[in-house]
Amino acid sequence: MGEGKRMMRLYVDDLRRCPEGWKMARTITDAVAHLFNGRVHEISIDHDIVFIRGGDIRMHKESFMPVVHVLCLLPLDQRPSKIRIHTANVDAGWKMVELLEKAGYKDISYVLGGDDCTQEDVQKLKGEL
């Protein structure tokens, strides 16, 4: 597929608000579905997934690491040209970068500490559940 047809910027995060101009994927399934359609040219990925119950926020055992594994297995013509890691989990973020580099990705950036996640983002998500 030509680069001109790959127009989506995909933001993979369960909690943060989606930046303007990006398509949101809140789940692993959503992110993988978008990747397989071959239109993603840039992706920004969080690592940790949180579990919210009754106002209590806890770390979930799952993460968005499976999305990184899918990225590593994508055929070259379906791979995003730019990858951005925006997790606050520093060790996991570096592991994601390492896997992507081993798979041949070149344009990878890592926002140390992740993007800002506001209390407003958390409250909005609680309201959606």
**pLDDT, tens only, 34-72:** 999 878 999 999 998 876 666 666 666 789 999 999 999
Q: What is the pLDDT of residue 96?
A: 93
Residue 101 has pLDDT above 70, yes or no: yes
Q: Under CATH, which number does the domain 3-128 receive?
A: 3.40.50
- What is the pLDDT averaged over residues 91-108? 93
- Half-sphere exposure (Cβ direction) of 129: Cα atoms closer than 13 Å: 17
Q: How far apart are CA 100 and CA 45, in angstroms?
A: 12
What are the sequence ranges of the domains in the chain? 3-128
pLDDT tier at 85 (50, 70, 90 boundaries)? very high
* Ranges of H-type helices in the chain: 28-36, 65-73, 90-102, 119-128
In this predicted model, what pLDDT tens digit does every residue of 2-37 receive, in sequence order? 445 668 999 999 888 899 999 999 999 999 999 998
Confidence category of residue 82, pLDDT binned at 50, 70, 90: very high
Of the listed ranges 28-37, 57-66, 104-113, 119-128, the least confidently predicted one is: 119-128
Query: How high is the pLDDT of residue 45?
Result: 95
What percent of the chain has a predicted confidence (pLDDT) above 90? 53
- pLDDT at position 51 is 65
CA distance 34 to 56: 30
**67: number of Cβ within 10 Å:** 25
